[in-house]
Amino acid sequence: MAKVFIDDIEYEVPDGKNMLEVCLSLGFDLTYFCWHPALHSIGACRQCGVINYKDENDKRGRITMACMLPASNGTRISIEAKAAHDFRAGNIESLMLNHPHDCPVCDEGGECHLQDMTLMSGHNYRRYRFKKRTHTNQYLGPFLNHEMNRCIQCYRCVRFYKDYAGGKDLDVFAAHDDIYFGRSEDGVLENEFSGNLVEVCPTGVFTDKTLKQHYTRKWDLTSAPSVCHGCSLGCNILASQRYGTIRRILTRYNGDVNGYFLCDRGRFGYEYTNSKKRIIKALKRVSGTYQPIENGNAFEEVKALMGEGKKVIGIGSPRASLESNFLLKELVGENNFYGGISNTEGNLIKQVIDILKKGKVKTPSLAEAKGYDAVFIVGEDVTNTAPMLALSLRQAAKNKPNEEAFAIRIPLWNDVAIREIVQERTGPFFIATVHHTKLDEISSGSFYGHPDNIARLGHAVAQKINNNLPSVPDADRESASLSSSIAEALLAAKKPLIVSGTSLFSKNVIEAAANVAYALKEQGKDVGLIYTVPEANSVGMTLLSENFVDDAIARVEKERADVLLILENDLYQRIGKKDSEAILKRCNQVVAFENLENETTNSCDYLFPAGTFAESTGTIVNNEGRAQRFYQVHIPRNEVRSSWKWLDILRQDLQTAEAKDFDAIVDELIQKNPELQKIKETAPTADFRIGTQKIPRSPHRFSGRTSMIANINVSEPKPPVDNDSPMSFTMEGYHGIQPSPDTAFYWSPAWNSVQAINKYQIEVGGPLHDGNPGKRLFEPDENRQAKYFNDIPSSFHPSNDELLVLPLYHIYGSEELTALSHAVKERIPQAYIALNENEARRKGLNAEGGKVEFYYQDKKWELSLKIDNSLPDGIAGLPKGLNETSGIGYPFRTKINS
């Protein structure tokens, strides 16, 4: 602890901070622009000027930037001194010289850090009487809008984009008052994290283009704390709506998970919730077409189908909540419930869960992953399968070189000095994947190979760390030397991190990664092991599943089922076309609870409109086993509701059970699944109140409430009540610091922008006031003797006539629902089949873009050729999840023709 004096009052503050952080953490309103809690200090904007005094006798002091001033013992500053005030107001005045003052037409207006800081600084009279300089704006792609005239040149955008996220195509151009932040020419901003510029930019230079399509001011949005369903990481989001459509997604700060950032898939992939393809009422297929049907009638009919003695099976979903999966399981009975993924995938996830539960190695959170100093990625294209993990790993790569700066006592917050010292260097970072991935640009060694060869490399590394492990037979010299250098680097690190996942559908890869981590643990290393899984609730659903879809197919093949209930699942996306058709045809009646029309809903008999994350409340479990609650943003004016609500109604009818609210279902769930006990603690129950108050979803400045439906009825209806959470759908409720899982927006007096988050944290950049939301379900047992996996696969030998086809992932396109959003759609690549040049030539294929034919499940597919020379011989890659490749189950072997 250090003692500092702020305006002559003594404070005890933690060591190693700068004075700006300290002042903000203590609750002082000190203006700043270029400093960001995740990007640290560069001292460029000069907005946090305070008077720094040498000692108590120094009455004059000098203006110093608080962000560059270490909060060391005896530091003495004044925020309130007139000279400091005048300087800050003068600085804002100069920043505003060229600012267009277009707040009324600016998307940032009302949540603008520049507005907040201008008011805070006290600058209110403009002495500048010349023309403003103007800039030309750029087209930056479907996600971001560019309005350079609003820029106040704080450099945050390039620092985030280039230094933090590793982007290459945004930079600062020109000099003096002509400074320009943009691309060298118009074009799509390519980095996967570009959307964060919306929140990083303190004013309206970079704004959300998708929000612009249906713009609403911040104060008019009704928001709910939610969890991104785009991948398995479970990043926290704030989803906002007005007039019943979702308008935008913002980061919900969670110091343990995503911190201040989101990936572009998560931020801009929400528009499918507003899609015209949404199923918004119960439908029944009558002579080949769907007809609307009264809910009650639908229930009666489905109930009749499911009556006594009928053979009913249910297929769950890795993108539906625990509660929905649980109720389906309850409704159809334990033995008739199947997890909605292939057996291959299900068994892999089971194995991952087993390692998480029984292994003795910690699975760090997304935030903790940033703290490791050596990384070994085993078989995962993280940027495309779990994008935010790639962002964390990019930070981890800086830790080793940063030590050199710490050695000369440069603190972490002094980003400008650290950049000088570290330059472009990165720490030990090894990647073994099927083909070239984006993180290769920071890797110290990359290996491309068949999943079995990746696993062999992993086993070789583990063996070099622990000599007692069996050595890898027939290892070639190249991978032997690579495995030595990987083992050496991991052993030299303080905190090595192993990252793997299920994306290659390879048990061997998962086992090899665990072996490396176990071996490091035995060497006393503080090792971390992260597995990514395919979907938002893959772990949660698998925890509730004994069997998976292939088991269901086997069963219906043997004996037809009367009714198949499908929960939020397009089977064609998860199992092959042939299998999907098989199961749909072998069930007499198919009832689906689904968000949007898809290939599966084409062959159903009844459809119930299920809520997406926007209209549902529930709990999902992410890849590290963290259970997190998401809340419905609004009650739609159609029949859409959480799947578990539909299932609960069905259950009432069938089993005359009582209607249950959300908390009762959670209670029932944990009673039957004691290992999920902690999900009850992820958020307060619905009867939680602060005093007598609920927690509002709308800010207190929400407007238009009495006129929103005046075209229908002039009297304001009673606001809907949320029985499933302690939150109201209106502005009524407690507006102070709310429980962290239930905070729907960030606002504090004088802080209207996203940076109001400072007020919700114990210290800026630290945990939220009552802890970060989410509960981890499994923790490693340090004392357990981990069992090594001893099956070392033999090396892959490409066959002359057949190719092994593996999925290649794309951040835009490989996820089923986000791919339906307009903005994301623009970024989905053309479908292709990728081969290396050598392989292409052997098949008589020459030109990239030429047509390639192959057979999958007896059907001919035709795609254009893409040359990817990093792919090993004998392996072809297909983009997973694209329209053109939907209905393919991986991996498979095929012959190809030109």
Partner 1 sequence: MGRKLLLDKVGIVGIRSYDVYRENGGYSSVEKVLKTMSPDDVTNEVKKSGLRGRGGAGFPTGMKWGFLAKPEGVPRYLVCNADESEPGTFKDRYLMEHIPHLLIEGLIVSSYAVGSNRTYIYIRGEFGWIVDILEQAIAEAKNNGWLGKNILGSGFDCEIYVHPGAGAYICGEETALLESLEGKRGNPRIKPPFPAVKGLYGCPTVVNNVETLSTVVPIINMGGDEYAKYGTGKSTGTKLISACGNINKPGVYEIEMNISVEEFIYNDEYCGGIANGKRLKACVPGGSSVPVLPANLLLKTAKGETRMMTYESLSDGGFLTGSMLGSGGFIVYDEDQCIVRNTYSFSRFYRHESCGQCSPCREGTFWMEKILWNLEHGKGKMKDIDLLWSVQGNIEGNTICPLGDAAAWPVAAAIRHFRDEFEWHVTHPEEAQRRNYGLAGYAEPLKAGV
The secondary element (H helix, E strand) that includes residue 267 is: helix 264-268
125 binding partner 1? (CB under 8 A): no
517 strand-pairing partners: none
808 strand-pairing partners: 879
Q: Which is nearer to partner 1, 43 or 741 (CB)?
A: 43
How far separated are the first and last CA of the chain, in Å rounded?
70
The dihedral through the CA atoms of 85, 87, 91, 96 has a sign that is: positive
Q: Which is nearer to partner 1, 30 or 211 (CB)?
A: 30
61 binding partner 1? (CB under 8 A): no
- Shortest Å, Cβ 97 to partner 1: 5
- Shortest Å, Cβ 66 to partner 1: 13
49 binding partner 1? (CB under 8 A): yes
Cβ(425)–Cβ(399) under 8 Å? no
Q: Which is nearer to partner 1, 42 or 498 (CB)?
A: 42
Q: Which is nearer to partner 1, 99 or 641 (CB)?
A: 99
- Shortest Å, Cβ 158 to partner 1: 10
- Helices assigned H by DSSP within 423-560: 451-465, 477-492, 507-522, 538-544, 549-558
855 binding partner 1? (CB under 8 A): no
Residue list 583-622, contact with partner 1 (CB under 8 A):
none
577: left (phi over 0), alpha (psi -120 to 50) or beta: alpha
- Shortest Å, Cβ 778 to partner 1: 43
Stretch 4-43: interaction string toward partner 1, x if CB under 8 A: --------------------------------------xx
Window contacting partner 1 (CB under 8 A); options: 44-52, 207-215, 285-293, 886-894: 44-52
- Shortest Å, Cβ 592 to partner 1: 56
128 binding partner 1? (CB under 8 A): yes
176 binding partner 1? (CB under 8 A): yes
Q: Which is nearer to partner 1, 130 or 736 (CB)?
A: 130
The rounded distance, in Å, linking the Cα atoms of 649 and 328 is 11
Q: Which is nearer to partner 1, 68 or 320 (CB)?
A: 68
The rounded distance, in Å, linking the Cα atoms of 501 and 514 is 11
Task: Provide the pairing of β-strand 206-208 with 62-65.
Answer: unpaired
- Shortest Å, Cβ 20 to partner 1: 14
Residue list 97-116, contact with partner 1 (CB under 8 A):
97-98
Window contacting partner 1 (CB under 8 A); options: 95-103, 441-449, 535-543, 549-557: 95-103
Q: Phi and psi for 808 in degrees, rounded to 5? A: -110, 140
DSSP-derived secondary structure for 603-653:
G-SEEEEB--TTT--EEEE-TTSEEEEE--S---SSS-B-HHHHHHHHHHH
Residue list 288-327, contact with partner 1 (CB under 8 A):
none
CA distances in angstroms from 324 to 606, 607, 647, 816, listed in the order given? 18, 16, 7, 19
Q: Phi and psi for 490 in degrees, rounded to 5? A: -65, -40
Q: Which is nearer to partner 1, 124 or 794 (CB)?
A: 124
ω into residue 891 within 30 of 0, thus cis? Answer: yes
Q: Which is nearer to partner 1, 133 or 784 (CB)?
A: 133
Window contacting partner 1 (CB under 8 A); options: 15-23, 50-58, 172-180, 501-509: 172-180
Nearest to 166 by CA among 156, 158, 174: 158
Cβ(282)–Cβ(293) under 8 Å? yes
Q: Which of 54, 56, 174, 826 binds partner 1 (CB under 8 A)?
A: 174
The rounded distance, in Å, linking the Cα atoms of 227 and 241 is 15
806 binding partner 1? (CB under 8 A): no
Q: Which is nearer to partner 1, 410 or 475 (CB)?
A: 410
DSSP-derived secondary structure for 645-705:
HHHHHHHHHHH-PPP--HHHHHHHHHHH-GGGGGGGGGS--TT--BTTB-B-SS-TT---T
- Shortest Å, Cβ 187 to partner 1: 21
Q: Which amino acid is at 328?
A: L
Q: Which of 4, 69, 410, 553 binds partner 1 (CB under 8 A)?
A: 410
Q: Which is nearer to partner 1, 16 or 90 (CB)?
A: 90
Strands (E), 788-858: 803-808, 832-835, 851-856
Burial of 737 (0-12, 13-18, 19+ CB in 10 A): middle
Nearest to 167 by CA among 438, 446, 445: 438
- Shortest Å, Cβ 67 to partner 1: 10
Q: Which of 6, 44, 117, 486 binds partner 1 (CB under 8 A)?
A: 44
Residue list 416-455, contact with partner 1 (CB under 8 A):
416-417, 420-423
87 binding partner 1? (CB under 8 A): yes
Q: Which is nearer to partner 1, 404 or 781 (CB)?
A: 404
540 binding partner 1? (CB under 8 A): no
Question: How many chain residues interact with partner 1 (CB under 8 A)?
Answer: 39
Q: Lay out the sheet containing 851-856: strands in order across.
A: 892-894, 803-808, 875-879, 832-835, 859-867, 851-856, 896-897
Largest CA distance in the chain: 92
- Shortest Å, Cβ 17 to partner 1: 17
48 binding partner 1? (CB under 8 A): no
Contacts with partner 1, residue ranges (CB under 8 A): 42-47, 49, 62-63, 68, 87, 90-91, 94-95, 97-98, 127-128, 130, 133, 152-153, 155, 172, 174-179, 408, 410, 416-417, 420-423
